[in-house]
Amino acid sequence: MEQNENQIEYSHEHKHCHCKEGCFKYALIFFATILGAFLAFYFVADYTFKMMFSPQYQMHRAEKMMRDMDRNIEKELNRDFGREITVVGKMMQSPVELTENSNSYIVKIALKPFGNNSKNIKLTTESNNTLKIEGSNEIKKGNNENLMNMMQSYKFQKPVDFNKMTKKEERGNYVITIPFTAE
C-alpha cells in the first residue's frame, strides 16, 4: 500500500511537472509569436517610412503626379468641345457636327431634336467670322409640355463668306455649307 501511495505521489508530481512544462512551452510559443509579429511589423513599418521619406521616392511620386496631370490636361485640350450638351441635368449628344473640307466648313444639325423641321432652327451670322445657331422645339403630350432650346456659337478660324452660304435638308439633317473667302 505504501508503494501504491508512493506511485500515486510520484505520478501526481510527474503529472504536475508535465503540466508546468506544457504551460511553459505554450507560454514561450505565445510570446515568440507576439515577438515575431511585432518585429515583422516594426521592420515593415520602418522600411516603409524610410522609403516614403527618401528623396528618390518623393521625386518618383512627384513625377508620377506631373505625368497624370499632363495626361488629364492633354485629354481636356484634345476633347471635342461642343459634342455634348446638357439637357435638364442629363448629358446628350450635341445635334450639331462641324467639319472642314478643302474649301468650306460644313455644319450638320440633326433635325430630330427640333421636330424634324428646319424652320425650328435660326442661323445668325456675325462680322467676326461667327455663326450662331439657335434651335427650339415644343412637344405637347396631353397635359405635359416639353420645351427644348439650344444655342451654340462657332467662331471660324479661317475667313468665311457668309453671303455664299448654302442650306439644305438631307437625310434628317440640316446641312449648312460655308465656303472660305477667296484670298
Q: What is the pLDDT of residues 120-152, one digit of tens each?
A: 899 988 888 889 998 888 877 778 777 778 888
Global confidence as pTM: 0.49
Question: What is the percent of the chain where pLDDT is above 90?
Answer: 18
What is the three-class DSSP state of 28?
helix
Domains in the chain: boundaries: 2-78, 95-179
Buried b vs exposed e over 92-120: b needs ≥16 C-beta within 10 Å?
A: eebbbbbeeeeebbebbbbbebbeeebeb
Could you confirm whether domain 95-179 is CATH 3.40.50.300? no
3-state class of 98 per DSSP? strand
Cell numbers standing for residue 34: 507576439
